[in-house]
Amino acid sequence: MRDFREFTNAKVLITGGLGFIGSSLAQRLVMLDARVTLVDSLIPLYGGNLFNIHDIRDQVTVNISDVRDPYAMAYLIQGQDYLFNLAGQTSHIDSMNDPQIDLDINASAQLSILEACRKHNPDIKIVFASTRQIYGKPEYLPVDEKHPIRPVDVNGINKLAGEWYHLLYNNVYKIRACALRLTNTYGPGMRVKDARQTFLGIWVRNLIEGKPIKVFGDGLQLRDFNYADDVVDALLLAAINPKADGEVFNLGSTEYINLKNLAALLIEIFRDGTYEIVPFPSDLKAIDIGDYYSDYTKINQSLGWLPHAFLKDGLKRTLEYYVCNRNHYWESA
């Protein structure tokens, strides 16, 4: 396993640092003896949660700021060696209901952050968290990076703009940047009080609360999943490897599963619960992409990344975490 010694004493800034993936990354970076600053707005609708870093709170710097504040970002970016740009509005439905806010966070703020880097820290290395949602409804499976890009919602369009701003600044201003197109990421710390971040979160909550899991459509839609630890590995590899500069990479898994079988697997692991097949709500049906799973050959060949967590094992760890910590994720929220 790689030791990532490049991060020893490195100054690292994580936007969205109190969110699911940001806090998972922070945990690892603290283990690697990095000097970590976390930026998060802690806006209730998004994924930030101070409990995500309760065990490393004294080992990181936390700055409660909004990435839409150009003055705060211009200050925070100075002197940093790495920027993991993970802050974003992730809800597809919210992006359709309030497209301006999605534009502000996922596109305009990204341009502002890059301008701050250009003016105040052009030597920084940036890894941007993009999404598989930019592909839209797949024409073929698995989806590779050459697949046509046809977003089906406002979120996908704005995330694409944010991604391409990073590539532009890499190509024109030589600010080293790359993007990872994440698929369904799950694990301890993900938002579970609603489905704004991932449908799997509300499934976990319903299962623990003794409510049926609601599976939309016919339940046969295929999906792939990455456990948070594997996503952190990919982020770190992309940050230290020059081969990543100016590139986009899919993440993904060799395991893919339909949603009905996923619900059944969760119930099997939990040893309790039920699921229901229910019609798609009309607003979700309009932006559903059908089957999706990724081809991650490019990141494997370029950076040596492979997912290691098996879905069943990752789901078991996730369920165990929320059984123990539910009060910090929904009952007190």
Tell me the domain boundaries of the chain: 5-186+224-254+293-309
224: left (phi over 0), alpha (psi -120 to 50) or beta: beta
Note the pLDDT tens digit of each residue in 9-64.
999 999 999 999 999 999 999 999 999 999 998 887 777 899 999 999 999 999 99
Task: Supply 53's token pair.
Answer: 């870093």
- Which whole number is the average pLDDT over 277-298? 88
| Domain 5-186+224-254+293-309: which CATH number of 1.10.940.10, 1.10.510.10, 3.40.50.720, 3.40.50.2300 | 3.40.50.720
**pLDDT above 60 for 168:** yes
Nearest CA to 226 out of 268, 267, 178, 187 is that of 187
Q: Which pLDDT score, from 0 to 100, does residue 271 have?
A: 97
Specify the amino acid at residue 170: N
Q: Which pLDDT score, from 0 to 100, does residue 332 have?
A: 47
Q: Which pLDDT score, from 0 to 100, does residue 284 have?
A: 77
Q: Which pLDDT score, from 0 to 100, does residue 92 have?
A: 65
**Contacts for 1 with CB less than 8 Å, ≥ 6 apart:** none
Neighbours of 51 (CB within 10 A): 15
pTM of the model: 0.95
Note the pLDDT tens digit of each residue in 217-233.
999 999 999 999 999 99
Nearest CA to 74 out of 119, 21, 109 is that of 119
Q: Which pLDDT score, from 0 to 100, does residue 333 have?
A: 42
